[in-house]
Structure 1
Amino acid sequence: MYATKNSGGVNPHHSNAAASSRFEPHVSSVEAVTQDMMQAAIAGHVEVAPANIDPAFLMQEASIFPINKSNEVSNMNFMNSPPIALPPLAMAPNHFAPVTPVARSPLGTIVCRIGNCCRFMYPEKISEVKQHIYQFHQDLFNRRNSEGKVLCPWICEHRGTQGTCNTALTIDGLAKHIATVHLQSTRKPCRYGCGASLSRGDAELRHIKRDCPLREAARLQASG
């Protein structure tokens, strides 16, 4: 074996160690960059670098495109997080929804059917019907004929046909007519229970004397 002459008195082992120490930081930094790029590739950020790539190129790429550790960790946490429940889908408003119902009539009232009035009125008493006519239907006074009568304008059904009553009456008689005939608010059942409905006291007396089939039976029962 021939000994190699060391010109300059430099220890070759010392020079190799120095070179190795100078290169180690570079290699470790390249390995760190390579490891970061591998982890980023797993997370789906960049492509994996080929194995034979120049370390200097990796260092240059790492300086130009630094990897954000915080973004990588947050992305990994997002991938491992459970699925998020989405809020319920907002439904479009229903354009065919029913409209707000019309307010019901107050208790004990009926709707006036004189023309297009459609106001609520209380039919229990003739005086209340008369007050409604004087308050809302004063035009009827201008319709009186030479005898001072008007045709009843109440809309009713007669023999399957709907139309106005047209009975000739005075204004005061009209209120009584509407209450007794059309509204039947003053009608009372026969006191003997035969089922007849009577509108006035005199009509009830006539019914009892002439027409009630139970009157005689009730009289005999009371006397016996």
Structure 2
Amino acid sequence: CCWGGLCATPLYDQSVGAIARHLREYHVQELSMPWMGRTRGCCQWSSGGMLCGMEMYLDNFAKHVATVHFKSTALTCPHCDKIFSRTDSLDRHIKESCR
């Protein structure tokens, strides 16, 4: 884990659920309070000495880390090898623009 640049815990399970549990337990305790999910915050993921800093709702942190930093939700178009982070985006690409 690279949250805040200080956590050395390895994240073997890079699913959104596992990342959410880790963030809730070690870094963003507000995630355990449902009413705090719509509070905004900045991603504290640090890579190569650079802080991500992207602003989003707290309850989107885990999906963001999985998608952007781990790329564990990546889906590849079977026709052109373009990469997508969401199933609906891949489906739309196949139907509308990948020929």
For 1:24-173, list aligned pairs within 5 A.
Answer: 112-115=1-4, 116-121=6-11, 122-123=13-14, 125-138=15-28, 141=30, 148-156=39-47, 162-173=49-60
Q: Deviations over 1:114-144 (max 9, x none)?
A: 1210211120x211110010111136x3xxx
Aligned to 1:42: none
1: CA distance between counterparts of 2:77 and 2:66? Answer: 19
Number of matched pairs? 90
Alignment gaps of 5+ in structure 2 = 31-37
Structure 1 position 195, deviation (Å): 1.4
The runs of 4+ residues in structure 1 deviating greater than 4 Å are none
RMSD across aligned positions (CA):
1.7
Alignment gaps of 5+ in structure 1 = 1-111, 142-146, 217-224
State, as a whole percentage, how many aligned pairs show the same letter.
31
Among 70, 76, 87, the alignment partner of 1:189 is 76
Given that 2:19 and 2:66 are in contact with CA atoms closer than 8 Å, whether structure 1 keeps it comes out as yes
Structure 1 position 188, deviation (Å): 1.6
Structure 1 position 163, deviation (Å): 1.3
Query: Which structure exhibits the higher relative contact order, with contacts defined as CA atoms closer than 8 Å and separated by 6 or more residues?
Result: 2
Aligned to 2:65: 178
1: CA distance between counterparts of 2:88 and 2:63? Answer: 15
Structure 1 position 172, deviation (Å): 1.8
* TM-score of the superposed pair, with normalisation by structure 1: 0.37
Given that 2:77 and 2:83 are in contact with CA atoms closer than 8 Å, whether structure 1 keeps it comes out as yes
* TM-score of the superposed pair, with normalisation by structure 2: 0.79
